[in-house]
Amino acid sequence: MSAPAELLPDFYRILFEEANDAIFLADVETGRLLDANPRACELIGRTRDAIRGMHHLELHPREERERYRAIFEHRAEAGRGIDRAEVVHRDGTRIPVEISAARTTLGDRPVLIGIFRDLRPRHELEQKLHEAESHYRILAEQNLIGVYLVQDGRFVYVNQYIADFLGYERPEDLIGRSLVELVHPEDLPAVTANIQKRLSGEMRTVHYSLRGFHRQGYLVEVEVIGSATTYRGRPAVLGVMLHTSEARRQARFYETESRILQDLLRGAPQAALLDALCTAIEARLPDGICTILLLCEGRLYRGASHMPPEYDALIEGLEIGPEVGSCGTAAFTKQPVWVSDVFSDPRWAAYRALAERFNFRACWSYPIRNARGEVLGTFAVYFPTERAPEPHEKEVLTRGASLAALILETRRLQTENARLAEVARQTSTGVLITDPERRVLWLNEGFTRLTGYTLADVYGRRPPEFLAGERTDRNTLEIIGERLREGLPVHTRIYFYRKDGTGFWDELRIEPLRDAEGRLIGFMGLNHDITALVEYEQELKRARAEAETAARLKAAFLANMSHEIRTPLNSILGFAELLDEQLAASGQESLREFTGIIQRSGRRLLRLINDILELSRLEADRLVLRTEPCALHTIVKEAVAELEPLACQKGLTLTVHTEAVPPVLGDPHRLHQIVTNLVGNALKYTEQGEVRVEVQETTEDGVRQVVLRVTDTGPGIDPDFLPHLFEPFQRAPSENDRSEGSGLGLAITKRLVEQMNGRITVESAPGNGTTFTVTFPALLADAEA
C-alpha cells in the first residue's frame, strides 16, 4: 500500500518533502499519523516508519493531550485554523510550534494536514530584541552617570542617577522643573549662555561645571556635557551629568578604606582602626558626626566616637531595646534605623533632652553584624539639622558597618588563632598541615613528640615518605591517597614509624581545608597514638574467638550427650507402655498409676532432652531448615486449632484474625513450632480472659513485611526480666506460677525466627498482659521484586 504522501501530485509531493517546516498527515477519523516529511522527523527525533501509526496526541506533552484532542477535533470540523502548541522530542525536550491545519482528502480518506513551524528561532530573536531594548533602557535609566533633556529652560527628561544625587525619589519629580530652581544663582548665567550657544549652533558640544541645590538645601557639584538636539520637532539640549563632589568624596573614602585594611593586616590597635573609619565616614557625609558602639551582654559601650566626651559618658552601657534611640533600637532589631528628626520620632521620646543639649537633630544608625548575623555593635551618624538619607548615603553606612564588622571579627579571629596556636602547640595530638599536593607546611609540637620529626626534618615532604614502613598497609595508603585526590576526608587506622624506627598504631583523621569559595587549599591531619588500644582490641578478639570455640564445643557436646540420653529413655518409655498394657489386661488398675507416672515423667524428660538437643543444634549451626514459600496465615490457623482444646479446658477465649498475606520463605514445620510455642505459652500463663492471634501485612521503610502477633491477658512480665526473656533456661519469676517448663522454648523460638531472616520482639508490663510480635520479610512475586 502506498504511503499517503505518494498519493499527492508530483508538485505537491516535492513541496511536502522539501519544506522547511514540519508537515504531518493525520487520519481525521482515527487520529493516527499517516505520514511525515523529513523536517517533521527531525523536529521530534523519530524515523518516518516510527511516526506512521502514532496517534497525533503522542506528539504533545501528556498533561496537555486532552486540550490538543479538542483542538484536533475542532480543526477537523472547521476545516482550517492556526494554533500555538508544544511537541515533545524523543529526548524529552519540549519544542514550541505554530500549527497551521487544513482538512483535505487523499484518495477517499479525509485527512488533516498540519504544518508545524518551529518557534524557537522566533523566540530567540524576540529574546535578543528584548535584551537589546533592556540594554538601551539600562543605559538611560541605570547608568553610572546622569542623562538629561532640557527644553525651554526646563527638564523634560532625567534618569534615576540625577534624581538620586539631587535628593528626589523619582525622576518624574524633576520633570517640568526650571533650571532657575535647581542651579546656584552665581552659576545660572553661564548655564543659560551655554544652552543658548548649543541651540544657536555656535557650539556643537559644551563641557562645564556647575553647582546645584540638593532637595535638602545643601550644594552639590556637577560636571555637565551637552549638545543640541530636537525633541518633538523643537530645539532641545541632550547631555550627561556627573556628580563630581560625591565622586571625589567616594574616591577619598576608598583610599582611606584601603589604608585601614592595610593597617588591620599590620596589627594596628582596634580603637585606632575604628577611629579612622569614623573619620572616613564623616568625610563622605558632610556635617555628620560619627560614633561606633560595641554590644556586650545587651548593652552598648564606646568603641570609637567623635561626639563630645560628656555625651559618650551619658550613653555608656546603654541597654538596647525597641525604642532606645537610634543605636539601641538598631542593635535590638538588627535593622538600620533612619531617624531624620529626633524630636518627632517616638524612638527618641526618652532621649530628646540629650539631643537638645548636644545640638543634633537627626541620627542614622546601622547594626554591625558578622557573617553569622550576630550583632557586634552599631554605627551611627549625627546631624545638626533634619536630614533623611539618600540611597548613596545609606550605602555609605552599609559599607562602613561591613568594614567595622571586618575589623572586629578579624581582631577576634586573630585573638582566637593565637589561643588555638598555643593549644595546638601544647596538645598531645599530632597536628600536620599540608598544601593541596600533601606537602608538609606546618606541624605542632605534639606531632614532634609523637613521631620525633621536626618541621625542619619534613618541610615540603609528603607524610608517607617519612612515616610509612615495613608493616604499613599499602592498600590503606592507596585508599588515603585516592580520597585526598578527590578532596574527601579520611578517618582510618594505620601503622606508622617514628624517626627512631619504632612503630605505632596511628588513628589518623585528615580534613580538607577550603577557602570561602570552596576551593581546596590544603589538608589538616590529626595523629593519635592508639597502640595500647589496638593491642587491647587484638587481645579481646583472641579471647572472643576462644570463647566462641568453647561455646561451639559445648553445644556439640550437649548435642551428642542428649542423643546418648534419649536412646535409653525411649527404651524405658517403650517398656513402661508394654507394662501398662499388661496391667490393664490383667485388671491390676492400682498398679497402672505407677506406670502412668513413669510415662508422664519420661515424656517430660524426653521433651526437655529434645529441647536441649534442638537448642544445641541451633547454637552449633547443625540444625538444617527447609526453605520454601509458606502461607503463614494457614499455618497459624492449623496450629491454633490444635491448641483449642487447651483453651477450652482453661475457660479461655482463643481468637484468630488472619489476612490474606504474601507468603514467607521458611520451614513450614518450624513455623508451626514457633506458633505453637508462642500460643502455648500464652495459654499456659493466662488464667482468665483471652489469647488473641493476628496475622497481617505491613510496610516498614518501603519493604513489605508479614507480621504474627500473639497477645494475652496474663499477668505480664517484670520489666527487669524482659532483657533475659530469650536466654536459655530463663523463666519469668511468679509467685503463682507452678507450670512446668525448662525455659528453653522462647530461646529456641528466637533462634528459629532469626534463622528464617525474621525478628521477634515482646511488649509487656505487670498486670497488663504480654504481646509477642514476629516479623518476616514478605516473599514477593517476580513482577514485584
Q: What is the pLDDT of residues 658-680, one digit of tens each?
A: 888 999 999 998 899 899 889 98
433 CB burial (10 A radius; 0-12, 13-18, 19+):
middle
Percentage above 90 pLDDT, the chain: 42
Residue pair 559/620 in contact by the 8 Å Cβ criterion: yes
User: Is a pLDDT exceeding 90 seen at residue 436?
Assistant: yes
Torsional class of 199: left (φ above 0), alpha (ψ -120 to 50), beta (otherwise): alpha
Q: How many CB atoms lie within 10 A of CB 79?
A: 11
Q: How many CB atoms lie within 10 A of CB 758?
A: 22
Residue 259 has pLDDT above 70, yes or no: yes
124: cell is: 530567540
Classified as helix, coil or strand, 616 is helix
CA distance 655 to 649: 15
Cα Rg of the chain, angstroms: 46
Q: What is the structure's pLDDT at 411?
A: 83
pLDDT of the residue at 61:
92
Query: Residue 344 carries which DSSP code?
Result: T
pLDDT score for 74: 87
* Confidence check: pLDDT of 538 > 50: yes
Q: What is the layout of strands, in order, in the sheet containing 146-151?
A: 154-158, 146-151, 234-243, 219-231, 205-213
Most confident by average pLDDT, 129-138, 236-245, 468-477: 468-477
Q: Which residue has the cell 532606645?
A: 324
Give 342 or 584, the one with higher predicted confidence. Answer: 342
Would you say residue 140 has pLDDT above 60? no
Residue 393: which of 407, 406, 379 has the closest Cα? 379
What is the structure's pLDDT at 608? 66
Residue 199 has pLDDT above 70, yes or no: yes
Mean of the pLDDT values across residues 198-214?
82
| 202 band by pLDDT with thresholds 50, 70 and 90 | confident
User: How far is 432 from 460, CA to CA, in rounded Å?
Assistant: 12
Q: What is the pLDDT of residue 166?
A: 86
Q: What is the pLDDT of residues 759-768, one digit of tens each?
A: 999 999 888 8
Cβ neighbourhood burial of 274 (10 Å; 0-12, 13-18, 19+) = buried
pLDDT at 169: 86
Q: What does the pLDDT read at residue 741?
A: 55
pLDDT at 1: 45
- At 2 the pLDDT is 54
Supply the pLDDT for residue 783. 44
Say whether pLDDT at 229 is over 50: yes
- The pLDDT of residue 200 is 82
- Arithmetic mean of pLDDT, 300-317: 92
Q: Residue 50: what pLDDT?
A: 92
- How far is 174 from 149, CA to CA, in rounded Å? 11
Give me 132's grid cell: 537589546
Across 376-380, 722-726, 756-760, 775-779, least confident range: 722-726
pTM, rounded to two decimals:
0.38
Q: What is the DSSP string of 185-238?
A: TTTHHHHHHHHHHHHHTS-SEEEEEEEEE-TTS-EEEEEEEEEEEEETTEEEEE
Least confident of 54-63, 183-192, 219-228, 470-479: 219-228
Query: What whole-number distance in Å separates Cα of residue 594 and Cα of residue 590?
Result: 8
Tens of pLDDT, residues 75-102: 888 878 888 899 999 999 999 999 888 8
Q: What angle do CA 128, 129, 130 make, to 5 degrees?
A: 90
Nearest to 401 by CA among 456, 490, 312, 334: 334
* 683-715 pLDDT, tens digit each: 988 999 999 999 999 998 889 999 999 999 999
pLDDT mean across residues, the chain: 85
Distance CA 401, CA 10 (A): 79
Burial (CB count <10 Å: 0-12, 13-18, 19+), residue 598: middle
Residue 615 pLDDT exceeds 80: no
Nearest alpha carbon to residue 199 among 165, 238, 168: 238
Per mean pLDDT, which range of 151-155, 566-570, 628-632 is the poorest? Answer: 566-570
Q: Which three cell numbers stand for residue 532?
A: 595500647
Cβ atoms of 204 and 228 closer than 8 Å: yes
* DSSP alpha helix (H) spans, 237-320: 244-266, 270-284, 309-315
Confidence check: pLDDT of 551 > 60 = yes
Give the CA distances from residue 491 to residues 129, 509, 514, 538, in Å, rounded to whole numbers and listed in that order.
56, 5, 18, 20
CA distance 65 to 54: 14
List, for residues 1-44, the tens digit of each pLDDT value: 455 656 556 666 777 888 888 999 999 889 899 999 999 999 99
Which domains occur in the chain, in start order? Answer: 4-118 (3.30.450.20), 133-247 (3.30.450.20), 267-417 (3.30.450.40), 427-529 (3.30.450.20), 536-619 (1.10.287), 628-777 (3.30.565.10)
Choose the weakest-confidence range: 294-308, 389-403, 550-564, 668-682. Answer: 550-564
List, for residues 273-293, the tens digit of each pLDDT value. 899 999 988 888 878 999 999
